[in-house]
Amino acid sequence: MVIDGNEWLAIIAGLALITWVNWYFFVAGRTPAVATSSSGTGQIQEQTIIVDGGYSPAAIRVKARQPVRLVFDRRDTGGCSEEVVFPDFGIRRFLPTGEKTVIEVTPPKKGRYEFTCGMSMLRGAIVAND
Ligand SMILES: [Cu+2]
């Protein structure tokens, strides 16, 4: 049996997808990042999120009722990640590749606030605690 170019392409694409799915579910999002915060009340908690075929870190622990500054550092050029949406805050923003886009939100209470790409395929969340 002879494997031609197209078949090799399909095999390689399949392996790449499997690798990515494993990484996404078993590595990403397992360790929530804690946003750094200056001491004292009312200080801004800041976290940089790398956007490269997903959000890294995908979960950000913050304190509720205090402003959170998320710096989206987009590295990939896929159409999927070009927009980020925060449904709970009514925010939808374009993320230019190679740029850092700052989004500030204040979680009103303890809870989980998801953010996704424009098509809800890539997912991340702010996890706010008291
Ligand atoms: Cu998408």
Ordered per-residue pLDDT tens for the chain, 130 residues: 566 766 766 756 666 655 665 555 555 545 678 887 654 555 789 999 999 999 999 999 999 999 999 999 999 999 999 999 999 999 999 999 999 999 999 999 999 999 999 999 999 999 999 9
Strands (E), 28-87: 33-34, 36-37, 45-51, 55-56, 59-63, 68-74, 83-86
pTM of this prediction exceeds 0.75: no
At 87 the pLDDT is: 98
Query: In angstroms, what is the span from residue 110 Cα to ligand 1's centroid?
Result: 27
Q: Residue 38 C-alpha to ligand 1 middle, in angstroms?
A: 34
- What is the model's pLDDT at position 99? 98
Nearest-CA neighbor of 57 among 48, 68, 46? 48
Distance CA 123, CA 81 (A): 10
